Amino acid sequence: MRAANVILEALKREGVDTIFGFPGGVLLPLYDALYDSDINHILARHEQGAGHAADGYARASGKVGVCLATSGPGATNLVTAIANAYMDSVPVVAITGQVSRHLIGLDSFQEADVTGITLPIVKHSYLVKDAGTLPRIIREAFYIAGTGRPGPVVIDIPVDVTKEDIDFDPEVLPAMQLPGYKPTLKGHPKQIKEAARLIAAAERPVIYAGGGVIISGASEELRELAFYGHIPVTTTLTGKGCFPEDHHLSMGMLGMHGTQYANYAVSKADLIIAVGVRFDDRVTGNLTTFAPEARFIHIDLDPAEISKNVAVDVPIVGDAKRVLAALLVEVKKLELSADRHLPWMEQVEAWKRDHPLVIRESESGEIMPEAAVRTIWQVTKGEAVVCTEVGQNQMWAAQHYLSRQPRRFISSGGLGTMGFGFPAAIGAQVALPDALVVDIAGDGSFQMTVQELATAVQYRLPVKVCILNNQYLGMVRQWQELFWNKRYSETCIECQPDFVKLAEAYGAEGYRAVRPEELEEVLRTAFATDKPAVIDIRIKREANVFPMIPAGGSVHDMMEREP
């Protein structure tokens, strides 16, 4: 069989039903094979869009996402998407075309050292030099991408390799020899028992849950531990949905733009049960003042994360689902009373009452961004798959769109990639064709990948884009206002397209809401259409995201409202 066809058959064997890509010269053999394949190919309008779509597909489905790009600039256009997947531990296999083997290293037309360029931002990478190794490499790539701590894998394939004929039997699975790759899944029993003992003894416990809970499918185990132990829960941005945010034990997101009560609780806790998190700087702020009274239990699949930023008392390396199940067994042996830390629960409830997330009203009758997000939540009944761009829109969405289920809130966490949300929403829509998928966007971020409207229209993907349009690069402007004496250097983007006409030009539907009383009806109309739709929501221009802890600050530096 020709190697190009082998690639597709090997992908099908891994359960691949969709590829997001963009063709080019060195990919012609592979795209010719795709012509007759039953694998669904989604033609993005930019390789970065293809990469983010594969990312969104993976997050929404739990499967490995696949993207495809040609050599040189095609492959380098994937770099941002690969880095984004790496930072958020998303399983993606990126297949790139390469110049013929005899041309590698000669500065040939559209040649780039893709494996070298992406080395720091992949879990593993391959440069295929022997067509006969393709079945093994593809099987290994999917195994590596999707197991352990997930992440992106690059397979760089020279064009002459794809033209060769090789022996291939789809019924024969190649043996994998990966002696250096053996993720630890089962937590150490002694450490699990010690963790249970600390939980039983704690007077002010907090569960701090992250994206690792969602990746491992551990949401049910986390909920059961919180319910049984009567322990309040706070999550990271990528952990949203691993615990129902409308439950009374939920404190929402913590960190720089987290709820005040979550940050207060962490600062006063005597035990932090950290599950699938990495103690990143947007959560901890000043490490020397983070949770100063707490002991730490840290459950994570990646041993490199244990005590990397915060020294922990009980480290447990293992899969969150397995470890939490075992921990729950040990905790139940101790027969915890429901009222053992009643004063703590009363204190948390008092913080919630005294410092709620505020939905402000504009004195001049403008739409306030918090109200816009909460209206989206109400109209969708909290059941949409929400993707976000990056910036103020992202933080307002994280604060006010309450998530009840995992894999229903998709956002760029570690890398903070503007332009991520819309193509990620396209990928999520492909993965979940019957779901309502909403991209909560900013006018700056959306324009970075706006060309993917053509993709949504071509494949009849009814993604809804809600632009919180303040005609600013909002988060940067906010920092300029608060910390740079309102010197708005290059953050005003009043020069922008008419988004309604732009949507219509692409064949999508366009809507606009300017006044608060218009918003709900406009959203209901747009969400009811079976076409892609863009809703231009004109919000108060200089609205800021609060609460806010300045970078490197602590809870004591928290800004609650406009100064």
> Over the stretch 242-288, which tens digit does the pLDDT of each residue have?
999 999 999 999 999 999 999 999 999 999 999 999 999 999 999 99
**Do the beta carbons of residue 207 and residue 275 sit within 8 Å?**
yes
**Do the beta carbons of residue 480 and residue 486 sit within 8 Å?**
yes
CA 298, CA 295: separation in Å to the nearest integer?
A: 10
Provide the percentage of residues in the chain whose pLDDT is more than 90.
Answer: 95
Average the pLDDT over 498-523 and give the result.
Answer: 98
Of the candidates 320, 316, 318, 323, the residue with the CA atom closest to the CA atom of residue 296:
316
Average the pLDDT over 511-520 and give the result.
Answer: 97
Average the pLDDT over 130-151 and give the result.
Answer: 97
CA 24, CA 68: separation in Å to the nearest integer?
A: 10
CA 13, CA 21: separation in Å to the nearest integer?
A: 19
Average the pLDDT over 485-492 and give the result.
Answer: 97
Dump strand ranges (E) for 349-400: 385-388
**Do the beta carbons of residue 151 and residue 122 sit within 8 Å?**
yes
Which two three-digit tokens encode residue 528? 């009811």
**Do the beta carbons of residue 526 and residue 535 sit within 8 Å?**
yes
> What's the DSSP call for residue 513?
E
Residue 563 pLDDT > 60: no
Residue 396 pLDDT > 70: yes
**What is the sign, positive or negative, of the torsion defined by CA atoms of 491, 494, 499, 505?**
negative
Instruction: Report pTM.
Output: 0.97
CA 345, CA 71: separation in Å to the nearest integer?
A: 57
Provide the percentage of residues in the chain whose pLDDT is more than 70.
Answer: 100
How many CB atoms within 10 Å of residue 286? Answer: 16
The residue ranking higher by pLDDT, 172 or 274, is: 274
Model confidence pLDDT, tens digit, residues 333-378:
998 888 899 999 999 999 999 999 988 888 789 999 999 999 999 9
Mean pLDDT value across the chain: 97
Q: Residue written as tokens 């910390």?
A: 483
The residue ranking higher by pLDDT, 123 or 365, is: 123
| Domains defined along the chain, listed by start | 3-163 (3.40.50.970), 189-354 (3.40.50.1220), 369-545 (3.40.50.970)
**Which pLDDT score is estimated for 170?**
85
**Which pLDDT score is estimated for 561?**
77
**Which pLDDT score is estimated for 363?**
79
Model confidence pLDDT, tens digit, residues 416-468:
999 999 999 999 999 999 999 999 999 999 999 999 999 999 999 999 999 99
